[in-house]
Amino acid sequence: MSQWVAPVIALALVGASPSPVMAAAAVPAGEVADADVEAIFRQYFHELYGRRFDQALALTAQLRPDADNPAGNAIVDGMRAAALLGLKRDSEAKKLIAEADRLAPEDPFPISTVFQGSLIADRFDFAADALDKLIARFPDVAREQDQQLVSYFLNHEVAGQEQRNEDRRVALARIGYGGALEGDWIAARAIDILLERGNMAGASDLLSSIDDPQTIENMLIQRRYSALWPTLEERAGAHLSKVRASSLASAEQDYSSAADDPEKLQRYINALRHSGRIGDAIALRSKLPADAAAMAKTDEQLGWAVNNVALALHQSGQAEEADQLFARLNDAQIDSGEWRVNTIINRLELLVADGKFDKAASLLDVTEQSAARDGSDYARQLVRRLKYCTLSMLGRKGEAAKLLPDVIAHAPDAPQPTVDGLICAGEIDKAEQLTLQMLTSSKATLAKRQKFEEDFVRALQPTPLTGDEPSVWQSKLAAFRQRPAIAAAFARLGRDMPTELVPTTAK
């Protein structure tokens, strides 16, 4: 066996495939020229993640394991296949994938590499095959796949393969993909699938994978989960005490293991906030950038930490301080706009919810520009409805009327926020019409329809739940619920959260 391939096989057997972070670190070309194997691997993944597939393929030619080393050859075959997929040389890639399977069926490294390469090249059919193999043959390795990559894949599953796609989501939930902090949404979707199939026992088994308070709340107020309510109520505890404690313990343990990690910090702040410990969440403000110069160096995860402390401040009644913190973040000279669009919209959202329409109006242009440049369809619709609401409440009815057709046309991009915007503007009839239309839409996928049902039932709760805050149009929502058609839809789809389960907040 060649000396170079031994550590690679060892890494592969424990599932330590090169991560995007590792892959992004380029090495000097001289190291590659000197046939430094580690450097070749690093450079290969750097080129692969950079979509320079021809260069990645060329690098594999420098890796020549001995002929009697099947594992080493399988690894190289997987690397070559991943690059070939990016070059659309599918027949060659298929042969190499099959050959790697034949040479080393016990080694997950080639399959992991093909999974990564397929996603980088947007070859979702090959990614599906690779992920399914990992789940079936190497669940420990599948469980460790990069969450951004898996999420990207799940948002681009192959059309026309609904049964297989659903089976995969259930399988990911059953192997515990996502862990304690990210597994909730995987498990929740799997539960939905199993309930649709009438598999109550299978759905109930996955409840132990969920400890996110908001997810548990949504299940406790939607009638499609009614058969699970006794189990859910036991799992939640009085005023959600059990699930809050479980969720917070996971986040706290994760944060304690790496207190300097901004991602763990922002998750911990949010867990504190969602567990009702608002004061403790605000106390972590000491971990945030202290001045404008430091704020300018903020990355996405630290930006979310700032966002989450601002939300905690607002929830504690310190709305002005929350707005000032958002302003310092949003005004900082930071290059990336892709994540900042969220915090820019969140600042505007709170101002509108608080009825501070004059100040909100002053931020409409910059927020609209941010969403147009960096936002998703959902983000852009959030801004449309906030603008429509703001202009309406300021009495600028003519300007608002011009926006209305566009707001209605894009309602499917963000259904419940659009309904809220119409209610804010006093367009109750239109809000009712849109609600009933979305609840009966044959165009929406099952997942989208269920998401709207969830948002609809949650929006009409008489008492705010975890993370929800009263707004200036809360009384309008209560009146909206009294409309016969809306009341009937609510009774069919949901219930009020039982008083003994309604979460409490510690200041």
- Per residue in 36-84, pLDDT (tens digit) is 888 899 999 999 999 999 999 999 999 888 888 899 999 999 999 999 9
Q: Say whether pLDDT at 503 is over 50.
A: yes
What Å distances lie between residue 178 and 174, 182, 187, 210, 243, CA to CA?
11, 4, 9, 11, 18
State the sign of the Cα–Cα–Cα–Cα dihedral 287, 292, 296, 301: positive
* pLDDT at residue 14 in the model: 28
* pLDDT at residue 9 in the model: 32
- Give the tokens for residue 48: 């692969």
Three-state secondary structure call for residue 183: helix
Instruction: Give this prediction's pTM.
Output: 0.84
> What is the rounded CA–CA span in Å between residue 474 and residue 307?
23
Cα atoms in the 13 Å half-sphere on the side-chain side of 70? 9
Beta pairing partners, 506: 277
Tell me the average pLDDT across 89-93: 97
Give the DSSP H or E segment for 436: helix 428-439
* pLDDT at residue 54 in the model: 96
Which positions ≥6 away from 240 have C-beta within 8 Å? 213, 216, 217, 466, 501, 503
Tell me the average pLDDT across 123-139: 97
Which candidate, 184, 170, 316, places its Cα nearest to that of 250? 184
Residues 150 and 81: beta-carbon distance below 8 Å: no
> What is the rounded CA–CA span in Å between residue 42 and residue 25?
7
How does pLDDT run across 272-311, given as a tens digit for each residue?
999 999 999 999 999 999 888 999 999 999 999 999 999 9
How does pLDDT run across 369-416, given as a tens digit for each residue?
999 999 999 999 999 999 999 999 999 999 999 999 999 999 999 999
Which candidate, 458, 477, 456, places its Cα nearest to that of 466? 458
Confidence of residue 505 (pLDDT cuts 50, 70, 90): low
The proportion of the chain whose per-residue pLDDT surpasses 70, expressed as a percent, equals 92
* pLDDT at residue 251 in the model: 94
Please return the burial class of 91, using the count of CB atoms within 10 Å of its CB with bins 0-12, 13-18 and 19+. exposed
* pLDDT at residue 37 in the model: 82
* pLDDT at residue 471 in the model: 87
Q: What angle do CA 182, 186, 190 make, to 5 degrees?
A: 155
How does pLDDT run across 176-232, given as a tens digit for each residue?
998 877 789 999 999 999 999 999 999 999 999 999 999 999 999 999 999 999 999
Helices and strands (DSSP H and E) totals, the chain: 32, 0
DSSP 445-493: -HHHHHHHHHHHHHHT-SS--TT----TTHHHHHHHHTSHHHHHHHHHH
* pLDDT at residue 2 in the model: 35
